[in-house]
């Protein structure tokens, strides 16, 4: 059975994204058209929709396009080999995510401190918030 042929607009509509996003993913090496028509239109198959779903799921987990590309470009091997690559990747992303959470908690504490400082001692009337750093702690 032959897979359906989709033009970029049809695929974009089916996936709920802009055609420019598909072109961007193609330029980034994450997706490729199955073929082009004589007039240069991109034609995609069902594998492109699967790949786009994968990209969107990966992005929803916080993966950067460069990281998604590494996964896409990883060599095909046995299920165990591919699973080992994925396990290492996930473990690294968990470490990075926990580090980012700690950074965000530290930023929240600094912002709370700034709010308390401003409540206790507002900036002088001559201070313009966008020009003066007197309200920002060092």
Both structure tokens of 107: 């930023």
Q: What is the mean pLDDT of each run of 10 residues along the chain (138 residues)?
A: 77 94 93 84 89 94 90 82 87 95 97 88 77 74
Strands (E), the chain: 6-7, 35-36, 42-44
Domain assignments of the chain as residue spans, ordered by start? 1-73, 76-121
pLDDT of residue 1: 47
pLDDT of residue 138: 67
pLDDT of residue 3: 62
Pairwise CA distance, residues 83 & 58, whole Å: 16
Fold of 1-73: Multidrug-efflux Transporter Regulator; Chain: A; Domain 2 (1.10.1660)
Sheet with 35-36, side-by-side order of all strands: 6-7, 42-44, 35-36
């Amino acid at each position: 059975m032959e897979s359906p042929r989709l033009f970029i607009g049809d695929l974009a509509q089916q996936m709920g994204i802009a055609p420019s996003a598909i072109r961007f993913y193609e330029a980034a090496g994450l997706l490729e058209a199955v073929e082009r028509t004589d007039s240069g239109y991109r034609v995609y198959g069902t594998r492109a929709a699967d790949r786009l779903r994968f990209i969107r799921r990966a992005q929803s987990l916080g993966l950067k396009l460069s990281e998604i590309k590494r996964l896409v470009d990883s060599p095909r091997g046995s299920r165990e080999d591919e699973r080992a690559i994925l396990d290492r990747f996930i473990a690294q992303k968990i470490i990075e995510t926990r580090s980012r959470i700690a950074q965000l908690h530290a930023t929240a504490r600094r912002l709370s401190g700034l709010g308390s400082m401003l409540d206790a001692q507002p900036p002088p009337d001559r201070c313009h918030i966008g020009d003066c750093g007197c309200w920002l702690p060092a």
